[in-house]
């Protein structure tokens, strides 16, 4: 990764008298409060609101169609092209807008804990609380690193600058535009801080494979013996809960790379959902929300200044950003060896997938490409009953390259390091949503622990007749009948019909991967 020259426009912006560079956490908190951008909660965290945009705006995200990336990017509904002319005009408008502000805030840091492949980044913000967010989520340099820091990618974030679609060529007033040749990300028209985090992740998902490194949307932890585990899963599957284990050290909760050296965290902080958060359920997250943390769209009592994590009146997507160091049980720096165990998490609302099953490499690639879970009512507007959802590689909104490339890299890594892969269903048992019940967390923890400790490597299994999955017959701490879904349903015929319906959805979704080797489709896919 070679640094690029700063454009004249950006140079003038960064050398202006209004620039506040590399402020400390106390200084940024003071700025947030003095500028009335947020309030201080009873634990010392900053609480801010993001207005009408309380989540990402995927339809407003674009990649500039430049010569160097034109034939590499997987263009479509996720990676939408936009012209260089549109980008350049907006770039100049955003720079001029930021120049005119009384204050702007700059953070210099890194993405990637492995020094051999990390990306030096710069984040330029209109808001002080956004800069505190960047300071929290990305990797902070020490004094020596800061002196030699040369940004290779820059975020320009101007939430109050709203585009005019008819004039500026955008889809709406909001825009998130990546230029790989200008090494710049433009963000405007939205105050949702998560756009910055996910934009850098998207950049890494493009750059890392070029260096032979697999980028992954997963959490990771390491055991006392140095054994490394990865947890893939979409929202609501238990990824954060299951990777937060008092007996294992957290490497990171969301974004990682897998290189020839092992696994490393891409970030320096965590961005956790907080709806219904409690100390009893998730003590690590609860106790990490202290001075320097950022609460996003969390309702706070104006008198006591206490956060009400059960209040979803602003949004279901309430968030907390906090530094990794706010958690006691972590790996520091956030790097570890090669994974021994890989867990794919799904919350199947149809209640037909086994609570745990062993996957071959081909099955692992199939389920990695599928990225299945059930989207539950309340997670998005308009969702009134559970819906099957498939997010390629458990992170399709952030993948600039064709999905098959990431799956092939995963398959190669599994082969090279003999990693064991398991599919774990944290969803329903004994029937579908509304009839059955959610899998007991104690059972799921017991199954995951058995997988991590190698107790399932050579255990006797039975093959599921519909999905072709190998189901362990015994798992310590779990009743045998729970392991086979058909035995938990009152009506076996109803189970088979529901399972066949889900298998058909898997097959229909998989048709979009036209160039996948047949052995993956045949061995990995449902065999109803």
Q: 209 in helix, strand or coil?
A: helix
Contact 243, 220 (CB under 8 A): yes
Strands 61-64 and 175-179: parallel
What does the DSSP 8-state code read for residue 376?
A: P
217 part of the active site:
yes
Given 47, 198, 361, 367, which residue is catalytic? 198
> If you average pLDDT over residues 24-47, what whole number do you get?
98
* Those residues with Cβ within 8 angstroms of residue 156's Cβ, 6 or more apart along the chain or in another chain: 10, 91, 94, 95, 98, 124, 184, 185, 186, 187
Give the pLDDT of residue 373: 95
> If you average pLDDT over residues 475-489, what whole number do you get?
96
Burial of 61 (0-12, 13-18, 19+ CB in 10 A): buried
Q: How far apart are CA 514 and CA 227, in angstroms?
A: 36
254 part of the active site:
yes
pLDDT exceeds cutoff 80 at 494? yes
CA 102 from centre of chain: 34
Residue-wise pLDDT for 199-237, tens only, equals 999 999 999 999 999 999 999 999 999 999 999 999 889
Where is 67: in which H helix or E strand?
A: none
> If you average pLDDT over residues 277-298, what whole number do you get?
94
Q: Which two tokens stand for residue 460?
A: 């006797």
Nearest CA to 429 out of 497, 374, 495 is that of: 495
CATH for 270-326, options being 1.10.150.130, 2.170.8.10, 2.40.50.100, 1.20.1250.20: 2.170.8.10
pLDDT exceeds cutoff 80 at 466? yes
pLDDT exceeds cutoff 60 at 527? no
Q: Which two tokens stand for residue 247?
A: 């007996």
Give the pLDDT of residue 375: 80
Residue-wise pLDDT for 301-326, tens only, equals 999 999 999 999 999 999 999 999 99
Give the pLDDT of residue 271: 94
Q: Where in the chain is the domain with CATH 2.170.8.10?
A: 270-326
Give the pLDDT of residue 506: 93
Give the pLDDT of residue 2: 42
Given 235, 360, 379, 461, which residue is catalytic? 235
pLDDT exceeds cutoff 90 at 91? yes
Given 254, 348, 464, 470, which residue is catalytic? 254
pLDDT class of 1 with cuts at 50, 70, 90: very low
pLDDT class of 482 with cuts at 50, 70, 90: very high
Q: Which two tokens stand for residue 78?
A: 């996720």
What is the average pLDDT score of the chain?
93
Q: Which two tokens stand for residue 98?
A: 């930021």
Q: Where in the chain is the domain with CATH 3.90.228.20?
A: 214-259+338-524
Give the pLDDT of residue 376: 67
> Quick count: other Cβ atoms within 10 Å of Cβ 46?
26
Contact 208, 235 (CB under 8 A): no
Q: How far apart are CA 20 and CA 11, in angstroms?
A: 14
What does the DSSP 8-state code read for residue 181?
A: T
pLDDT class of 518 with cuts at 50, 70, 90: low
Nearest CA to 313 out of 296, 299, 303, 301 is that of: 299
CA 396 from centre of chain: 10
Give the pLDDT of residue 302: 95
> If you average pLDDT over residues 10-23, what whole number do you get?
92
Given 31, 47, 56, 118, which residue is catalytic? 56
> If you average pLDDT over residues 8-28, what whole number do you get?
93
Classify 210 in phi/psi space as left (phi over 0), alpha (psi -120 to 50) or beta: alpha
Q: How far apart are CA 10 and CA 179, in angstroms?
A: 14
240 part of the active site:
yes
Give the pLDDT of residue 379: 42
Given 61, 140, 319, 361, which residue is catalytic? 319
CATH number for the region 8-37+57-210 comes to 3.40.449.10
Any idea which architecture 214-259+338-524 has in CATH? Alpha-Beta Complex (3.90)
480 part of the active site:
no
Q: How far apart are CA 275 and CA 278, in angstroms?
A: 9
pLDDT exceeds cutoff 60 at 471? yes
Contact 198, 255 (CB under 8 A): no
Q: Where in the chain is the domain with CATH 3.40.449.10?
A: 8-37+57-210
162 part of the active site:
no
What does the DSSP 8-state code read for residue 35?
A: T
Quick check: bond before 66 cis, omega within 30?
no
* Those residues with Cβ within 8 angstroms of residue 358's Cβ, 6 or more apart along the chain or in another chain: 420, 421, 422, 456, 461, 469, 470, 471, 472
Give the pLDDT of residue 516: 67
Q: Give the least confident one: 65-74, 381-390, 474-483.
A: 381-390
As a residue count, the chain comes to: 528
Given 239, 249, 413, 420, which residue is catalytic? 239
Give the pLDDT of residue 517: 67
* Those residues with Cβ within 8 angstroms of residue 167's Cβ, 6 or more apart along the chain or in another chain: none
Given 47, 217, 367, 413, which residue is catalytic? 217
CA pseudo-torsion sign 159, 203, 133, 120: negative
Give the pLDDT of residue 27: 98
Q: Which two tokens stand for residue 335?
A: 């790097």
């Amino acid at each position: 990764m070679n640094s690029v020259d700063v454009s004249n426009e950006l140079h003038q912006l960064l050398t202006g008298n209004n620039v506040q560079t590399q402020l400390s956490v106390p200084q940024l908190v003071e700025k947030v409060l003095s500028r009335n951008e947020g309030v201080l909660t009873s634990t010392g965290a900053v609480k801010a609101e993001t207005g009408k945009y309380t989540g990402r705006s995927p339809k407003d995200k674009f990649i500039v169609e430049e010569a160097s990336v034109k034939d590499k990017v997987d263009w479509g509904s996720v990676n939408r092209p936009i012209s260089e002319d549109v980008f350049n005009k907006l770039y100049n408008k955003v720079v001029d807008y930021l120049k005119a502000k009384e204050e702007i805030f700059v953070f210099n840091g890194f993405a990637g804990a492995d020094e051999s492949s990390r990306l030096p980044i710069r984040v330029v913000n209109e808001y002080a609380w956004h800069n505190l967010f960047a300071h929290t989520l990305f990797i902070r340099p020490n004094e020596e690193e800061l002196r030699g820091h040369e940004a290779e990618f820059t975020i320009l974030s101007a939430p109050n600058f709203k585009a005019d679609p008819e004039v500026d060529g955008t889809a709406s007033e909001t825009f998130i535009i990546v230029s790989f040749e200008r090494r710049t990300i433009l963000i405007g028209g939205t105050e949702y801080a998560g756009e910055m985090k996910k934009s850098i992740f998207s950049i890494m998902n493009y750059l890392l494979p070029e260096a032979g490194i697999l980028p992954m949307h997963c959490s990771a932890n390491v055991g006392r013996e140095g054994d490394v585990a990865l947890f893939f899963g979409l929202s609501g599957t238990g990824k954060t809960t299951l990777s937060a284990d008092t007996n294992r050290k957290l490497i990171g909760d969301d974004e990682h790379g897998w290189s020839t050296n092992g696994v490393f965290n891409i970030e320096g902080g965590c961005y956790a959902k907080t709806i219904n958060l409690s100390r009893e359920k998730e003590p690590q997250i609860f106790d990490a929300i202290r001075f320097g943390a950022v609460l996003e769209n969390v309702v706070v009592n104006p008198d006591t200044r206490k956060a009400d994590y059960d209040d979803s009146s602003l949004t279901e997507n309430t968030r907390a950003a906090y530094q990794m160091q706010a958690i006691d049980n972590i790996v520091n720096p956030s790097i570890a060896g090669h994974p021994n165990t890989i867990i794919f998490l799904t919350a199947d609302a149809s209640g037909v997938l086994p609570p745990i099953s062993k996957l071959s490499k081909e099955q692992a690639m199939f389920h990695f490409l599928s990225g299945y879970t059930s989207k539950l009512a309340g997670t998005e507007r308009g969702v009134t009953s559970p819906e099957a959802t498939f997010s390629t590689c458990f992170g399709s909104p952030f993948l600039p390259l064709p999905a098959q490339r990431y799956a092939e890299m995963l398959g190669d890594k599994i082969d090279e390091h003999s990693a064991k892969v398991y599919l774990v269903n944290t969803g329903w048992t004994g029937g579908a949503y509304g009839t059955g019940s959610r899998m007991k967390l104690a059972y799921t923890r017991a199954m995951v622990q058995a997988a991590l400790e190698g107790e399932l490597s050579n255990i006797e299994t039975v093959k599921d007749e519909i999905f072709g999955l190998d189901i362990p017959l015994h798992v310590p701490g779990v009743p045998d009948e729970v392991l086979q879904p058909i035995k938990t349903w009152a009506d076996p015929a109803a189970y088979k019909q529901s399972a066949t319906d889900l298998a058909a959805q898997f097959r229909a979704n998989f048709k979009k991967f036209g160039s996948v080797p047949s052995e993956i489709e045949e061995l990995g896919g449902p065999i109803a």
